[in-house]
Structure 1
């Protein structure tokens, strides 16, 4: 509980910083326009950081995953403070919407919690002239299962029980299956209200991959971005699901960890078969992500995650958010900014801020390949 409280305080402080930073950036944008800025020289390096703005200019539009929003807010704040006159506008929507926007050519890059499908790669070739869309792993972290059950400060669940809760087979909090995993805990007869994402979501797909790999009997659905199970209630974005869980007694939902810590929503410990149920923390997610292997080919760095891990302290419900870019064929007016910004997010400095925001940095060996690939974008 002390660790959760510490992380929660960190995330709350960071959220306040991001809000204040957004206000500062808005003001700075107004000052630049008033002063007749031409959109940045692309030559400035911040004295307070190692952010290099070489080739960056004007405005860069991006959109997609809401799971990485809190990380993106901090990255954008830091980057725009260093690169005067350059504007990064990331629209937090969903992985599905981000990929659609990317393949329509309306954004410089997209954020997605799942790698491009083969048909999406094929579609990207019409936008990436002479190339194709590739996946660059940039943000890791746990998918927290948040709950609202007054009087229950600690809750253990396993994959089968989670599957039954989200598919509507378990309907009350004092169900024998939940009680068996929480000896000595007084569970109420409160009805369970399970919340899921209303739109196509990579977070949904990653949860589905975990349940499909570990509880196939109780979760017979394909791991798709669209919510597959009957029943439950829908909300928009990770923020929407978290808000519903926060306010509805008996609620349970899934979202990226920083949404739980910033709103003091308790999270489920996962019984994986390890020596003890595993808490949703950045450190524990890192242990699972460290075992990831690159499954993409060429410049594509899509990862294969082990959702069935039973390693002690390895939190199994993880996601990796990719920045989807063209390997070749990027628009000339945004290429410099895309390379400059993603060089920063993949840097040691950019990755370092992730832990404080409730995320898990990408393993160093994989991240080194991300930097090389970003440097070679054309």
Structure 2
């Protein structure tokens, strides 16, 4: 008899805002301890309240940045509410957030880019990749410790066309695995999700003939499967139920199996170093201002050692704010995030892929130009 799927519990309250309240006086060594020699920011001189929010994918990294930032800027109260990418962009455009996290760059499909430009006093919004992490294809199959999946097989599983674990398409790539004659249960996000958008962007790019739903933030119901709320919900459902497979930020995959994904002639594991390489082989979005570092990820790359299913999350900010205090706080926080210390914290605590030295320097040059309206 098949064991019924146990669904993840859906939280009954809104995500808790992360808040560090200012305490103590200045730190004479604050600027030096930032870890970024190119920053023009004197962290110890900063004070006030800075409100941000958005992508929940950044939550663990944001928690680490909050702690680290308070050490160098103890008189700043910074809060980040992980309400999701869509609400993050909306609240940034409306002026509710001074900066926002988003798992998708701004576009004019819904006038977001033009509205953000208007919100930023007519200047193009800043978009910088600050958090890069592999999206792992997680699975729970007894006795299967390693699993290789070709791109079209991943698409076939989540589109409901490959339904058995011992399907020849899976067996051929895993000759030494003891794959059961059992139904595959795909698990997806139940909420609107940047992770889902990035995952379906990969499916659409590598196997658009199999994955017919395109790039979506909300999972298409016609493909069935089971659902979990948020990354933690997907991980919970896969953990508690045999023969399941899902997708989740690799840093939150826990003890689940994580499939290697086919790239060229090899299968690549979802580690941070392999995820970081995709930024090196992917083009920038065309027609953007110099302050906009949005990237069109090349999911179809054949480059050796590149993990192709990646979540690239952005910080959205303005080149120009209404007041100098907000401009200074935004400049200070982003400078810390992209500093060596900030990137190391995100790597250690959230499994993020550290930005390259070249990208750090480019971002810092953009951030140093943040000003207030005259």
TM range (shorter): 0.7 to 0.9
1:289 aligns with 2:282: no
**3-state DSSP of counterpart to 1:344:** helix
Mark the CA change 1:54 to 1:48 in structure 2 (over 3 Å): closer, same or farther.
Answer: closer
**3-state DSSP of counterpart to 2:171:** helix
Structure 1 residue 92: Cα displacement: 1.8
Mapped contact 2:45–2:73 kept (Cα < 8 A): no
Structure 1 residue 145: Cα displacement: 0.9
Q: How does 1:13-24 map to 2 (within 5 A)?
A: none
- Provide Cα deviations, 1:115-157, integer angstroms capped at 9, x if missing partner: 1112211122342223243311111121111111121111111
1:151 aligns with 2:163: no
**What CA distance in whole angstroms lies between the structure 2 residues aligned with 1:293 and 1:343?**
24
Correspondent of 1:78 among 62, 68, 88 = 68
Mark the CA change 1:298 to 1:179 in structure 2 (over 3 Å): closer, same or farther.
Answer: same
**What CA distance in whole angstroms lies between the structure 2 residues aligned with 1:56 and 1:326?**
18
Give the equivalent residue in structure 2 for 1:267: 258
Deviates more, 1:238-247 or 1:150-159: 238-247
Structure 1 residue 227: Cα displacement: 2.3
Give the equivalent residue in structure 1 for 2:96: 106
**What CA distance in whole angstroms lies between the structure 2 residues aligned with 1:183 and 1:45?**
56
1:122 aligns with 2:107: no
Correspondent of 2:157 among 158, 162, 165 = 165
Mark the CA change 1:308 to 1:358 in structure 2 (over 3 Å): closer, same or farther.
Answer: same
Deviates more, 1:341-350 or 1:296-305: 296-305
Q: Structure 1 unaligned runs (5+)?
A: 1-21
- Report how many residues are paired: 343
Mapped contact 1:133–1:327 kept (Cα < 8 A): yes
**What CA distance in whole angstroms lies between the structure 2 residues aligned with 1:87 and 1:351?**
21
Structure 1 residue 58: Cα displacement: 2.3
**What CA distance in whole angstroms lies between the structure 2 residues aligned with 1:96 and 1:240?**
19
Correspondent of 2:370 among 355, 374, 377 = 377
**3-state DSSP of counterpart to 2:52:** strand
**3-state DSSP of counterpart to 1:303:** coil
TM-score, normalization: structure 2?
0.84
Instruction: Report the RMSD for the aligned CA atoms in angstroms.
Output: 2.4
Structure 1 residue 237: Cα displacement: 2.1
Give the equivalent residue in structure 1 for 2:4: none
**What CA distance in whole angstroms lies between the structure 1 residues aligned with 2:328 and 2:233?**
34
**What CA distance in whole angstroms lies between the structure 1 residues aligned with 2:229 and 2:322?**
31
Mapped contact 1:146–1:254 kept (Cα < 8 A): yes
1:95 aligns with 2:95: no
Give the equivalent residue in structure 2 for 1:182: 174
Q: Structure 2 unaligned runs (5+)?
A: 1-17, 37-41
Give the equivalent residue in structure 1 for 2:208: 216
**What CA distance in whole angstroms lies between the structure 2 residues aligned with 1:127 and 1:44?**
35
- Provide Cα deviations, 1:293-317, integer angstroms capped at 9, x if missing partner: 3333232111122111122221111
**What CA distance in whole angstroms lies between the structure 1 residues aligned with 2:31 and 2:361?**
23
**What CA distance in whole angstroms lies between the structure 1 residues aligned with 2:62 and 2:353?**
14
Correspondent of 1:250 among 203, 225, 243 = 243
Give the equivalent residue in structure 2 for 1:131: 123
Deviates more, 1:315-324 or 1:327-336: 327-336
Structure 1 residue 333: Cα displacement: 4.3
Mark the CA change 1:365 to 1:50 in structure 2 (over 3 Å): closer, same or farther.
Answer: closer
More helix by share: 1
Deviates more, 1:225-234 or 1:119-128: 225-234
Mapped contact 2:124–2:289 kept (Cα < 8 A): no
**What CA distance in whole angstroms lies between the structure 2 residues aligned with 1:351 and 1:50?**
9
Correspondent of 2:49 among 54, 59, 69 = 59
TM-score, normalization: structure 1?
0.83
Deviates more, 1:238-247 or 1:314-323: 238-247
**What CA distance in whole angstroms lies between the structure 1 residues aligned with 2:67 and 2:236?**
24
- Provide Cα deviations, 1:271-292, integer angstroms capped at 9, x if missing partner: 1222x21111111112222223
